[in-house]
Amino acid sequence: MPNLIQKAQPGLEFIPQHFNPVVQQFTKWLLPFLLRFRVRPWLPSGISRIEVKNAEVLAELYQQFQAGKIRFLMAFRHPEVDDPLCMFYLLSRVMPKVARQKGIRLQYPIHSHFIYDRGMTLWVGDWLGWFFSRLGGIPVRRGKRLDLHGVHNARDLFANGKMPIAVAPEGATNGHSGIVSPLEPGVAQLGFWCVEDLVKANRREEVFIVPIGIQYRYVEPPWLKLDWLLSKLEADCGLSVQPIAESEMSQKEEIYYQRLLCIADALLTEMEDFYRRFYHQDLPKHIVTDESVSINQALITRLQRLLNTALKVAEQYFGLQSQGNFIDRCRRLEEAGWSYIYREDLRDLNALPPLQRGLADWVAAEADMRMRHMRLVESFVAVTENYIQEKPTAERFAETALLIFDVVARIKSNTKIPGRPRLGWRLAQITVGEPISVTERWSNYQTNRNSARLAVTQLTQDLHDALEKLIT
């Protein structure tokens, strides 16, 4: 979330990619530092090691790509903000080593174009747009029905670029290494467009989408740091702090789980009252009447109802219909908010009469506040009923606790992006999956509009299944 916006801003310009191998090489030199100390250099809590499985599959694909035999897109999981760094490590560090070991000759630099969310430059700063441009990035506005500039450039690079392209088909981080969010259909559509462009140009390259899984584990389970984080959340929610005693460590999973349930209940109760009282929403007060419903089932039901209410509050302001899943609704709200803040309809904000400029600033400030409801929902779209119970690992406890921290910190702070606490050194695991041929599905796609829609849907589902199989 960017700093609180008080004034209308000029429209968001498209940032064309200008790949610069010098910038790529410089980033490669900086990579070990970026992986370990990405946000807070004084805290030793980044990624200490990256393990890669099946890298030779990707090396062979690069060899065929450089020989003009195939085109391919890497569709990678996106659980955390560190994923692009891990992908950069895979291509710049692991691939050259594997290629040498396997006797695979590759041209340098071994790199890729990539698609990134245009909003990242708003949260981090304009310098990021310059940097991503020189690394070969293409910005896309996620909520825009058809971002002509972004889509056209991505399509052209997929078919004609000198490097493959990388995309996170989930569209945004979900904070869960063990859950793949619903995929956006854009990756599958890009694949079919690439085949279409090659057919029109009389070219015979085969088109592939390569699923790539990314997961994170702690080198040492951070149980004590988790105790500290839960204590902080308990204090923030007005609960009595319940630090775990040394004698209770043998039962830590159950104790931590109960503490998380109490924190979640307190947070939901507070937010339900907030929307009930100040936004006049009809949210029932929590009363347990069915003994067959477990506590976590009840919490998930309340959470889903709260998320729907938060989105409705924002949608009512922007005049939007409540259609699609939570992710679809979030993207539409983001684009609606940006249209009120980044005014493409006004050529020169500084030339406006004071009255009109004041009204534009008013609209921008209110739109920014309304978008905070959507940001609340973004943090919890992947939360499920049994995520911790299925596998009560330190990683899953940490992921859930950190999502709650994100929401509480954002509510507490109106002026800056809250920095997450670092719980310990992490290991990143990257797994390259089996390539999915888009060319083989071309006959199903080209029949008519309905068959094209079905082909995109089926390819999207198959890609989702492939990414799920890469979770260990």
pLDDT digits (tens, 9 = 90+) for 445-468: 988 889 999 999 999 999 999 999
Give per-residue pLDDT as tens, 136-151: 999 998 876 667 888 9
Residue 21, pLDDT above cutoff 70: yes
If one counts every other C-beta atom within 10 angstroms of the C-beta of residue 199, the result is 13
In order, the DSSP letters of 106-158 are --S----EEEEETTHHHHH-HHHHHHHHHTTEEEE-TTSS--HHHHHHHHHHH
pLDDT at 378: 87
- Three-class DSSP category at 48: strand
* 239 Ramachandran zone, left/alpha/beta (phi>0; psi -120 to 50): beta
Residue 291, pLDDT above cutoff 70: no
Residue 119 scores a pLDDT above 90: no
- Does the structure show a pLDDT above 70 at 292? no
Task: Name the class of domain 9-219+426-469.
Answer: alpha beta
Answer whether residue 417 shows pLDDT above 70. no
110 pLDDT higher than 70: yes
pLDDT at 123: 82
Using the predicted structure, report yes or no on whether residue 3 has a pLDDT greater than 70. Answer: no
Please give the share of the chain, as a percent, with pLDDT higher than 70: 94
Nearest to 456 by CA among 211, 196, 188: 188
Query: What value does the mean pLDDT of the chain take?
Result: 91
Q: Do 55 and 95 touch, CB atoms closer than 8 A?
A: yes
Task: Report whether pLDDT(262) > 80.
Answer: yes
Q: In this predicted structure, what is the pLDDT of residue 267?
A: 95
Alpha carbon distance 252, 244 (integer Å): 8
**pLDDT, tens digit, for every residue of 62-93?**
999 999 999 999 999 999 989 999 999 999 99
Region of 103 (left: φ > 0; alpha: ψ -120 to 50; beta: rest) is left
Is 18 a residue whose pLDDT tops 70?
A: yes
CATH 3.40.1130 maps onto the chain at: 9-219+426-469
- Per the CB < 8 A criterion, the answer to whether 166 and 76 are in contact is yes
Contact 264, 405 (CB under 8 A): no
Q: Is the pLDDT of residue 45 over 50?
A: no
Question: What confidence score (pLDDT) does residue 229 get?
Answer: 97
State pLDDT tens for residues 192-242.
Answer: 999 999 999 999 999 999 999 999 999 999 999 999 999 999 999 999 999
pLDDT of residue 288: 57
Residue 33: the pLDDT is 86
